[in-house]
Amino acid sequence: MKSVLIIGGSGLVGSSLIRLASNNMNVFFTFCKNRYEASTSKSFFLDLLDKQNSAANLIKSLSPDVVVNTAAFQNVDYCELNHNMADQLHVKSTKEICSAVKFLITNKSITGQVIAIDSGQNLNWKTPDIIGTKE
């Protein structure tokens, strides 16, 4: 059975996706402030603003077939006043998630491994496909 990781699963879009996907897929999802319970799915706490919690580690350890990122600040005014935090959640975290997915796509033999990474910036080991540089 295929698996999906829904990042931001406790929000409106994420929780709807959990319900839809639970019938046909193994569902994993994350929550941050609002814990969401789904009897047929496994949840993980993930604060995308906390550099110690890495979406990349979770993606690489679960190795899901599909990753959906629905995490976002809901209050546009808050984002306007707190541009750096909004940028961290909406841009930098999304780039980290994309890098981890790219890593899984290009390294199909990797399953169930946790790779230590700190918000996509400082790797315990460096590979060009994760950090986007050429060696």
The answer for residues whose C-beta is within 8 angstroms of residue 9's C-beta and 6 or more apart is 15, 17, 18, 29, 30, 31, 36, 38, 41, 43, 70
d(CA 129, CA 110): 14
Phi, psi for residue 57 in degrees, rounded to 5: -60, -45
Number of domains in the chain: 1
More confident residue, 8 or 105: 8
Q: Range of 100's domain? A: 3-131
The CATH number that applies at residue 81 is: 3.40.50.720
Tens digit of each residue's pLDDT (9 = 90 or more) over 3-33: 999 999 988 888 999 999 998 999 999 998 8
- The arithmetic mean of pLDDT across residues 54-66, rounded, is 87
- The arithmetic mean of pLDDT across residues 56-68, rounded, is 88
| pTM reported for the whole predicted model | 0.73
Least confident piece of the model among 27-31, 35-39, 53-57, 92-96: 35-39
Tens digit of each residue's pLDDT (9 = 90 or more) over 110-120: 544 333 333 44
